[in-house]
Copies of this chain bind each other. A is one copy, B any other.
Amino acid sequence: MNKIIELDTGLIAAASAVGKMESEGPLGELFDIKDDSDKYGMDSFERAEAAMQLAAMNTAIAKSGVRETDIEALFAGDLMNQCTSSAYGLLTFDIPYFGLYGACSTAAESIMLASMATSNGIFEYAAAITSSHYCTAERQYRSPLEYGSQRPPTAQWTVTGSGAFIIGRGGKVRITGALPGIVREMGVRDANNMGAAMAPAAADTILRYYSYCGGNLDGIDLIVTGDLGAEGLDILKDIIGRDKPDIVEKLTDCGTLIYDMKRQDVHSGGSGCGCSAVVLASYLLPKLERGELRGILFIGTGAMMSPMTIQQGEGIPAIAHLVRIEAGR
């Protein structure tokens, strides 16, 4: 595919729900729902993540003014095995459900598919929901928290957060284009350095976008990746800088925005589906709504390995899905 998918649909409303670490970060005041216990009233972290999705979704519906019965599809996913945070978290909704898995790119993937559907009149309204949780991710992907394993400097901190987006007719902020990612595997085998694994995929998508649009980035104030973290963002800037030094200054990353990288003990920054979702919902979208940003390229980045493929010595395949979001004109 050698073209950008042109879209025109509204990003009507968004909501974010997060945990303690996120609420103590620089964006802390901007999130809709915070729970310093990270438990959302539940007795397991898995139930907590599901409850957090439900809270974000209900809040987004309330903010949108769209009736729940008018939402015709849910596009959802998370990092849990078999994507159970979404399947269980959204169980109360009597709405058709499309389960997605794009690792940490799922926020962008879900917004992209919901936008493709509403922009073409398949649905009038659709929702995109994703989440991640530090405590569920640690014990599934790495070690139980009780083990207290040491983390190398390139490791990232999985964001406890869920972002929900209501997409369709109306809305001041518009989703105007999309470029789905191609899976790239560049030989990185270190699951504690996912930024390095994902940066080449992000660069690939950004450079393809640049090529397909003829180098015209007028009106695009930021190119925001999902969760490369400090290490991955540095690598991305290196790769992009070689070819297109003029766009390096537009690059930033949700994983470096969500935490105070000096004060908070998060090593290379935030990661997880929830990272890009809550930064978009709470920080970037309001800036677009207020006209402080004219347009952004929002690029979900995902590392598509599993603990087993790492144990089996495979490289880490990565993907980067791009969505163009613009302030209404």
Contacts and interface: CB of A to CB of B under 8 A. Distances in A.
A183 B113 contact: no
- A interface residue count range (under 10 / 10 to 19 / 20 to 34 / 35 or more): 35 or more
A115 to B, nearest CB: 11
Contact of A82 (B46, B73, B91, B101): B101
Contact of A183 (B47, B81, B91, B314): B91
A124 to B, nearest CB: 9
Interface in A13-35: none
Residue from A47, A91, A123 whose CB has the most chain B CB atoms within 10 Å: A91
A83 B304 contact: yes
Contacts of A87: 183, 304-305, 317, 319
A317 B50 CA distance: 13
A174 B121 CA distance: 20
B304 A82 contact: yes
Contact of A97 (B47, B116, B179, B182): B182
A310 B233 CA distance: 39
21 contacts: A1-B73, A1-B95, A5-B122, A46-B308, A73-B180, A80-B308, A81-B82, A82-B305, A84-B305, A84-B306, A88-B314, A94-B182, A96-B180, A97-B319, A99-B100, A99-B101, A99-B102, A99-B302, A100-B100, A116-B120, A120-B121
Contacts of A117: 116
Sorted from nearest, which 3 A-B pairs have the closest CB atoms?
A96-B180, A87-B304, A82-B306
B46 A97 contact: no
Contacts of A99: 100-103, 109, 302, 304, 319
Interface string A42-54: 0010110000000
A190 interface: no
Interface in A288-329: 302, 304-309, 312, 314, 317, 319
